[in-house]
Amino acid sequence: MNYKLGILDQSPVFLGRNTFEALQQTIHLARKAEEWGYSRFWVAEHHHMEDVAGSSPEVLISHLLARTKYIQIGAGGIMLQHYSPYKVVENFHVLSTLSPGRVDLGVGPSPGGLPLSTKALQYGTENNGKDFEDRLKFIKALVDDTVGKHHPLAGIQALPRPPIKPGIFLLGGSANSAKLAAELGLHFVFANFLVSSEEVLAQAAKIYRENYPQGTFIAAVSVMAAPDQKTAEELANEHRLYEINLSSGRTLKVQSLRQVTAYEKQATEPFEVKEIKADMIAGTACKVKAALTRLHEVYHIDEFIVHTPIRKEKERLRSFELLSPLPAEERILEQV
C-alpha cells in the first residue's frame, strides 16, 4: 500500500449500550488500530447528540495517548468557532509536551451540533462564528510562535512550548477550503464522507497540490468492509444521511432521523429535509482497498481517514480489522 490509513471514531452509542461503554469501545478501538497498523486515530466533536459520546476531543485524546504507544492521536476536529484559538493551542501544546510527535490538531468550521448546543457553547461571548479564517491564522501563528508585532496580542506565546509542535489539519469539503489550507501551509482533510462528490474531491486535490505540493492531502471516506460483498452491501443499506436545507441557503448534514427530529425542535428558520445517498465504499477488503488505491493514484491522495458508520458493534470492529494495513504475522499484539 502506497498510502496510509487512519481511523475517525465518533464514539457511537450502539443500541442497548450507554455512553460509558461507547467511550470504552473508543479506547479499545484505538489500541486495536495501533496493533493493526493504522497510522492515525482521530476522535470527533459532537454536542447534545445522544447517539454519539464524543463531545470533548481534547480530554479523550489525553486518555488515548496514555493508553497507546506510538500511533498518532488527534482531533477530527476541534470546532473552532466556539473557542479561543489561544486556549485551543495551549491544550494541544500540553498534549504535545506529554506525548511529543504524536498529536494532531484538526480544526473545522462546522458547529458540531444543532442550534441549541451552538448557543450554549457561545453563551456570553461575542462570537458569531463568522471569523473562522482569522481564528485559523491565529492558531497557526501560535503553534509556530510567529504572532506578529503588529498583532493586537503581540508578544503572546502559547505555553508550554512542546519539543515537537502538533501538526495542524484543516477539515473542509470544498476547493475553497483546500485553497485556504494550502495558502496557510496547513495539511488538509477533505470530508468526502459528507460531501459525497468525487468531482469536488478532484477540484480540492488539484487546487491544494498546485498551491502547496509539499502538504499532506487526506481524504476522509465512508468505508464498510465485510467477509463478502452481500454482507457489506446489507450493512451499507442500513446507513442514512440527511441534508437539511435552510431558507438562508445554508445546509447541514445529519446521520439519523433522531437528529432530524432534534433539529425540528430547535430550528430558527424554515427548512427542508431530504435523504441523500452517502458516498460509501462497501465490499470485501480487497474491493475496498482497490477503490482506495484508485483514488490514491488518480488524485494523489497521501492518506485516508476511514469513517465506518456501521451500527452493529462487532461488525464495525471487524470492518476495521479486515482493512488492517498490517498482515497478521507483522502485528504487534496489544499489551494489557
Written as one string, the DSSP assignment of 134-173 is: HHHHHHHHHHHT---TTSTTTT---SS--SSPPEEEEEES
- Contact residues for 32 (Cβ-Cβ < 8 A; gap 6+): 317, 320, 321, 334
Q: Specify the pLDDT at position 31.
A: 98
**How are the residues of the chain apportioned to helix, strand and coil, as percentages rounded to the nearest 5?**
40, 20, 35
Which one has a higher pLDDT value, 89 or 326? Answer: 89
Half-sphere exposure for 56 (CA within 13 Å, toward CB)? 6
As a residue count, the chain comes to 336
* pLDDT above 50: residue 39: yes
* pLDDT above 70: residue 334: no
* pLDDT above 90: residue 283: yes
User: At residue 46, what are phi and psi to the nearest 5 degrees?
Assistant: -135, 145
CATH annotation of 4-237+279-330: 3.20.20.30
Q: Specify the pLDDT at position 130.
A: 67
Q: Which residue has the cell 491544494?
A: 208
* pLDDT above 50: residue 247: yes
Work out the burial of residue 302: count CB atoms within 10 Å of its CB; fewer than 13 is exposed, 13-18 middle, 19 or more buried: middle
Q: Specify the pLDDT at position 129.
A: 59
Q: Write out pLDDT tens, residues 135-185.
A: 999 999 999 999 999 999 999 999 999 999 999 999 999 999 999 999 999
Query: pTM here?
Result: 0.93
Q: Specify the pLDDT at position 196.
A: 77
Work out the burial of residue 250: count CB atoms within 10 Å of its CB; fewer than 13 is exposed, 13-18 middle, 19 or more buried: exposed
**What percent of the chain shows pLDDT beyond 90?**
74
* Region(s) of the chain under CATH 3.20.20.30: 4-237+279-330
